[in-house]
Amino acid sequence: MRIFKTFGQGFKTTNRRLRVGLYLWLANFLFSLLILTPFYYIINKDFSRSLMADQLARGVDLLWLGDFIFKYRDLSSVFLGWLVVSGIFFLLLSIFLNGGIIGRIASQEEGINLSSFLADCAKYFFRFFRVFLLSLVVYIVVFGLLFKLISLPFNLWEKNVSTEWPLLFTSNLKFLFLVLLFSIVRMFFDYVKVRLVVEDSRKSLRAVLLNLSFIGKRFFKAWSLYLLVGLITFVFGVVYLAVYQPLPKAGFMLLVAFIWQQAYLFSRMWAKVLFFSTECHFFNSYR
């Protein structure tokens, strides 16, 4: 029951901090414009006056994609470099924004404005960047070693099966284990970030070590709370696809589809704030 109480507290905090979700949505929207603008000008140059533009609005055609790649094959290294640099920048942006999210959640009595949000982003960026580097080591160990050990019995069993159904079952089961392991590692380092903000500490490694004890004593409670919020995020995705897929992608309905996409993006940002809100309340109730 305490899990649901903590969830309710996090839900209320998330709605009180709704402006944080708007800042996240705006940052992601502007970032998307920055990344897609070069591709937009290339596509607009080639197809703006052809019937292919209407077809592209309904979805990417594989034949067109092949022609596009062949036509601009000399620029493939430029496109690849642009995507790699964009990916690194997006990763740094996410680390930067996490500081603003947790900082504004922890400052319950203070109001929220863009300057205070950005101040928290800058204040905690280098602390969270060190946490990110530590998390890379854990991800490598967990998915490079632990997941292989978990998969080993399934791989041995798959060699002796004679039909596709057991292979389908074991592949889905391994994927489920992969998702669950990822959720555990991500949850753990979320609480490390929460600890650094709540205690206003700069000692990232110390926070990791303390978190081993904190999570270890109440692992299933913390994980159940995390999975509960994750389930909400999953439901948002299912509802989005159920509405978006049948929408016509032409004329006025194209605008409706775009608005629905942005609504879904905002729901993802809201859910991200909900993750940290519930974790902050959980941490404060047990520390």
Provide the mean pLDDT of the chain: 84
Q: What is the distance, to the nearest Å, from the Cα of residue 22 to the centroid of all Cα atoms in its chain?
A: 16
Look at residues 97, 107, 124 and name the one whose alpha carbon lies nearest to residue 13.
107
Query: Tens digits of per-residue pLDDT, 63-102?
Result: 555 555 656 566 667 667 777 888 899 999 999 999 999 9
pTM of structure: 0.84
Q: Counting beta carbons within 10 angstroms of the beta carbon of residue 273, is it exposed (0 to 12), middle (13 to 18) or buried (19 or more)?
A: buried
CB 191 within 8 A of CB 283: yes
d(CA 126, CA 123): 8
pLDDT digits (tens, 9 = 90+) for 123-176: 999 999 999 999 999 998 888 887 777 777 766 666 666 667 666 777 777 788
CB 191 within 8 A of CB 222: yes
**Tokens standing for residue 68:** 């596009």
With a CB cutoff of 8 Å and minimum separation 6, the contacts of 240 are 260, 264, 267
Mean pLDDT score, 226-237: 95
Taking alpha carbons only, the member of 276, 142, 129 closest to residue 204 is 129
* Cβ 214 vs Cβ 249: under 8 Å: no
With cut-offs at 50, 70 and 90, classify the pLDDT of residue 61. low
DSSP string, 148-198: HHHHHHHHHHHTT--SHHHHHHHHHHHHHHHHHHHHHHHHHHHHHHHHHHH
